[in-house]
Amino acid sequence: MSQQSQLPKGWRWLKLKDVIREFVNGGTPNTNIPQFWNGGIPWITSADIKNLYVSKGRKYISQEGLYNSSTHLVKKDTVLIATRTGVGKVAIAENDLCFSQDITGVVCTDEIFPEFLARYLLSQGDNLIRIQRGATIKGLTREDIESLFIPLPAFAEQRRIAAKIQELMQDVDRARAACKKQLEAAKVLPTAYLREVFESKEAKNWEKKKLGEVCIINPSRPKNFTRAPNELTTFIPMAAVDGRTGTVAKSEVVPYLKVSKGYTYFEENDVLFAKITPCMQNGKHVIVRNLIDGIGFGTTEFHVLRPGKEILPGWIWYFVRRACFLHEATTYFSGAVGQQRVPKDFLANYSIPCPPLSVQKYLVAGLNEKTAGLEKIYMAAKKQLDIINVFPQKILNRAFKGEL
């Protein structure tokens, strides 16, 4: 091969057929025969392959199930390749086990270390997906696997490289876990901040009013509202609302004629509340701002809350985004399963604390500052996680060039 000259000294290119002693088929015992199942033999499918080493799956079969199906019991260190569903997944059997027909077992010759082979196949995940074939159900054949080339150093070097890869992957896993912890904290802390405001000792003494008293809910368009058919108009579909931040990621600009009928009308600083499941639970509630000419239109799955003079949009927005409020709203759902909605009356009759406007302004400003700080932490952690997630492939690429 042309790549052979690029390998380190002592390495060579071999086809996998030269280092594979045996292919082992998988299969599934008849699920309608109870005695074939709930035995003591681990049985896995490609869905159980999540880490390099697989010790057991979600199901066990009996000796009778093993003998009366096309699955086979393989020994520890057999390399497991997803060849139908989940092509690109690779693992090593950590103990004796069986597997379904979407996995092929590979028993290595003494010339190759099983973990070295498994890591190499993982590095070729995109290539394995590319070469799979089939009209309806795609997959890999034995010939596809056998025809792959592998860069092979001496056995002792294979073991060293495999150990180094494992060490580096553990470092990646620790870094990934730390990033995910930051992301989770950034998701959870807003709930704590809202609780500090709306469940404080001071909050118990604030005057409470119904939302319907301090807001106009689902206001109509102004009388004699007119707009030229081709006038550019802001349109906010549900998909444009980011449920995590409660902001509009990107509104659309369309001719007024396109949204003049059958859509929800709203104005600058109105609060849009997603009434349909699961958008409601997912936090798709937003204060609308920067609307063309101060007006806009959106999906009919929004309730519109227009604040009166004694309440701020931000105060309402933070209040209705609380987890406890959204959970309570689910108990008032109406409509068929999958198309359930929060009725207008739930909002209209719900009591909201109404401290003086000066207090609202102070507390909303504080919440804005805290959530903005959390957003910076979240985005930094997310960016770091994106970087970390490309490390495994980089490590594998370097490993099989002899650079570890």
DSSP 112-167: S-HHHHHHHHHHTHHHHHHH-B-SSS-B--HHHHHT-EEEE--HHHHHHHHHHHHH
| Residue that the structure tokens 């927005």 belong to | 317
pLDDT in the model for residue 357: 96
pLDDT in the model for residue 372: 94
**Host H or E run for residue 363:** helix 357-399
**CB-based burial, 81-116: b 16+ in 10 Å, e otherwise:** bbbbbbbbbbbbbeeebbbbbbbbbbebeeebbbbb
Q: What is the pLDDT of residues 73-114, one digit of tens each?
A: 999 999 999 998 899 999 999 999 999 999 999 999 999 999
What is d(CA 297, CA 252) in angstroms, rounded to the nearest whole number?
10
| Residue that the structure tokens 């520890």 belong to | 76
> Degrees (nearest 5) of the Cα angle 138, 143, 84?
25
Residues 264-272: what's their mean pLDDT?
97
What is d(CA 137, CA 127) in angstroms, rounded to the nearest whole number?
18
pLDDT in the model for residue 176: 94
Residue 4 has pLDDT above 50, yes or no: no
Residues 239-244: what's their mean pLDDT?
94
What is d(CA 58, CA 43) in angstroms, rounded to the nearest whole number?
8
What is d(CA 297, CA 345) in angstroms, rounded to the nearest whole number?
22
Identify the burial level of 143 via C-beta atoms within 10 angstroms of its C-beta, where 0-12 means exposed, 13-18 middle and 19 or more buried. exposed
pLDDT in the model for residue 186: 87
| Domains, the chain, ordered by start | 8-152 (3.90.220.20), 207-221+228-354 (3.90.220.20)
What is d(CA 187, CA 377) in angstroms, rounded to the nearest whole number?
10
Percent with pLDDT over 70 in the chain? 99
Which pLDDT band, with edges at 50, 70 and 90, does 57 fall under?
confident
DSSP 10-70: T-EEEEGGGTEEEEE------TT-GGGEEEEEEEE-GGG--SSEE---SEEE-HHHHHTSS
Give the mean pLDDT of the chain.
Answer: 93
The residue ranking higher by pLDDT, 275 or 58, is: 275
pLDDT in the model for residue 100: 95
Are 77 and 97 contacting, i.e. CB atoms less than 8 angstroms apart? no
pLDDT in the model for residue 51: 83
Is this structure's pTM higher than 0.85? no
Which pLDDT band, with edges at 50, 70 and 90, does 26 fall under?
very high
